[in-house]
């Protein structure tokens, strides 16, 4: 299979669905002539025309509102938030209207909101957030957080074909940094099925997005240093999430570390920890540990941002403590 970057995989998945299904169109700020802030849609307007690659004004509520109306009329919009942070402007329409439309009327509402998320570029508090946990509490929304190029494409196609709203969080730090094998042509990656990124027997790490690679580097350090065997579960989707895979891994290792880049209080890691505590407490040999960002805005300063985002050493130290129980 060809090697592609995470960004190329997203672009390919979107392009292939637009070629396959004329109902699919793109809308967002600078997605057309400019090709998107990160060039995911570069060349799309030349291929599909301005009526299927729509440059929108700086109005996220209008973008999401247009998606709602268009999907009710049988189209399949894919909106791009220039940065995931900006989705807060569309909170009311997304949460009050779109998420509840199927419950209220039984109508399908098939649209995707692509959300470039995450830090690592000193973008500061308005361009670096990971807001997936904010939406995990909202019934009617599905939340997708791919970490590999293969999943980025397969999960995007699955999202576009889903009959109801999907928030697709693509981590900016992975765009050109991560490459991997990506099948050509059409395939989907199902929601709610975690992926074993790295098998292990001593400690389970549950994570998603860019933190998969932080966990993997920490596991490599520990394996070389003292032979600690770390199993890394990549959830791939937050809503729905794969409870069975997490519980199965915890039953094997008896130790759980939950790792995410979002802030700690109210982060989705708390939901995972609570579920394991309720359903697998007798199988635990150590307290459940969470590693997350502190409860502050994302700093601009590169050293402060590094202190804010969980680092390899943080994970190494936490796993070492868990393995010592």
CA distances 110 to 98, 142, 319, Å, are 10, 11, 41
User: Residue 251's CB: how many other CB atoms inside 10 A?
Assistant: 13
What ranges make up the beta strands (E) of the chain?
A: 3-5, 24-28, 53-55, 76-80, 112-117, 142-144, 166-171, 179-181, 195-198, 203-207, 230-234, 237-239, 256-263, 289-293
Neighbours of 244 (CB within 10 A): 11
| Burial of 285 (C-beta count, 10 Å sphere; 0-12/13-18/19+) | exposed
Taking the CB of residue 320, how many other CB atoms lie within 10 A of it?
16
Residue 260: active-site member: no
Q: Is 302 helix (H, G, I), strand (E, B) or coil?
A: helix
Residue of 93, 102, 127, 171 marked catalytic = 127
Q: How far apart are the first and last CA of the chain?
A: 43
Residues annotated as catalytic (active site), given as ranges: 127
């Amino acid at each position: 299979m060809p090697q592609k970057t995470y960004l190329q995989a997203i672009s390919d998945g979107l392009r292939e669905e637009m070629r396959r299904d004329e109902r699919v169109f793109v809308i967002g700020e600078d997605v057309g002539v400019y090709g998107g802030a990160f060039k995911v849609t570069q060349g799309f307007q030349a291929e599909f025309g301005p009526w299927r690659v729509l440059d929108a004004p700086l109005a996220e509520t209008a973008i999401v509102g247009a998606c709602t109306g268009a999907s009710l009329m049988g189209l399949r919009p894919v909106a791009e938030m220039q940065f995931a942070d900006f989705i807060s402007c569309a909170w009311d329409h997304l949460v009050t209207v779109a998420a509840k439309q199927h419950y209220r009327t039984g109508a399908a509402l098939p649209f995707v909101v692509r959300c470039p998320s995450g830090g690592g570029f000193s973008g500061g508090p308005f361009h670096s957030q990971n807001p997936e946990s904010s939406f995990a509490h909202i019934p009617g929304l599905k939340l997708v957080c791919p970490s590999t190029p293969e999943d980025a494409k397969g999960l995007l196609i699955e999202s576009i074909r889903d009959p109801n709203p999907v928030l697709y969080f693509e981590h900016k730090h992975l765009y050109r940094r991560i490459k991997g094998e990506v099948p050509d042509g059409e395939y989907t990656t199902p929601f709610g099925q975690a992926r074993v990124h790295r098998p292990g027997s001593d400690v389970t790490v549950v994570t998603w997005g860019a933190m998969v690679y932080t966990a993997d580097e920490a596991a490599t350090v520990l394996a070389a240093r003292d032979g600690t065997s770390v199993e890394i579960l990549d959830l791939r989707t937050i809503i729905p999430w794969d409870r069975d895979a997490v519980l199965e891994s915890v039953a094997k290792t008896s130790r759980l570390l939950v790792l995410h880049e979002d802030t700690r209080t109210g982060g989705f890691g708390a939901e995972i920890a609570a579920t394991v505590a309720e359903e697998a407490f007798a199988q635990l040999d150590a307290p459940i540990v969470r590693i997350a960002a502190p409860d502050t805005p994302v700093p601009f300063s590169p050293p402060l941002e590094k202190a804010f985002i969980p680092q390899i050493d943080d994970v190494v130290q936490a796993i070492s403590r868990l393995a010592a129980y």
